[in-house]
Amino acid sequence: MTTRPAVSPDDLRALLGERLHDEVVRYAMDRTGVERAYAERQVLEALRYLYLVSRHRERLGGLFLPVEQDIDEIWHYLILQTREYRELCEERLPGRFFIHHRSIAYEDYQEEPGRERAAEEALRWIPLYCREFGPFDEGVLPHWTVVRFLRERMDMSLDEISALGVPQAA
C-alpha cells in the first residue's frame, strides 16, 4: 500500500502561488531551454530543497545539500524576488526563518570538511526527503547529485536509496 507523502507537489507549488510559480518555471525554461514539464520538476526540486532546510533547520542548517546547478540558479532567482522570497521563508515555509544562501562548489566543499564528512552530510537529508515527499522516482536523478551517484555509480535501486537511514524492522 502506497502512502501519500506528507507534502505533495501541489502543496509546494502553493507556497509560491500560481503567478510566481509560473514566472519561475518560465525563467527555468528560458535559461536552460528545457521543456515545461522538466522546468516544473526543477522548480519542484528547488522548493523541496528549501522546504527541507526550513523544516529541518537543526539537522540540515549549514550543510551542503548537493543539488545540481540549475536548482541553485532557481534559488538565486527566487532570492532576487526579495519581497516574495522573504515572505516564502518567513511566512510560508514551516521553519519561518530567512534561508540565507552561500555558493560553494561541491569539489571545494569536499576539501573543507573532508570527503568522509561531506559524504555523511550529503546522505543525512535522504531519509528526511523521503519522509516529507515519498520515495525517489526517476525524475529526481537529474536534480540531486548524491541520488544520481548512488544510482549510477553504486548501482543502487531507487528503493534502496529511499530506504537509507530508515530503521529496519528486527
Q: What percent of the chain has pLDDT over 70?
A: 84
Give me the number of domains the chain comprises.
Answer: 1
Query: Cell 549510477 sits at which residue?
Result: 152
Question: Which of the two residues, 65 and 91, has the higher pLDDT score?
Answer: 91
Q: Is residue 150 part of a domain?
A: yes
Q: Is residue 167 part of a domain?
A: no
User: What residues make up the domain containing 28?
Assistant: 9-100+107-162
Q: Is residue 75 part of a domain?
A: yes
> Secondary structure of the chain in the HEC alphabet?
CCCCCCCCHHHHHHHHCHHHHHHHHHHHHHHHCCCHHHHHHHHHHHHHHHHHHHHCHHHHCCCCCCECHHHHHHHHHHHHCHHHHHHHHHHHCCCCCCCCCCCCCHHHHHHCCCHHHHHHHHHHCHHHHHHHHCCCCHHHCCCEHHHHHHHHCCCCCHHHHHCCCCCCCC
Q: Is residue 170 part of a domain?
A: no
Residue 17 has pLDDT above 90, yes or no: yes
Residue 12 has pLDDT above 80, yes or no: yes
Residue 103 has pLDDT above 60, yes or no: no
Distance (Å, whole) CA 98 – CA 87: 9
pTM of the model: 0.88
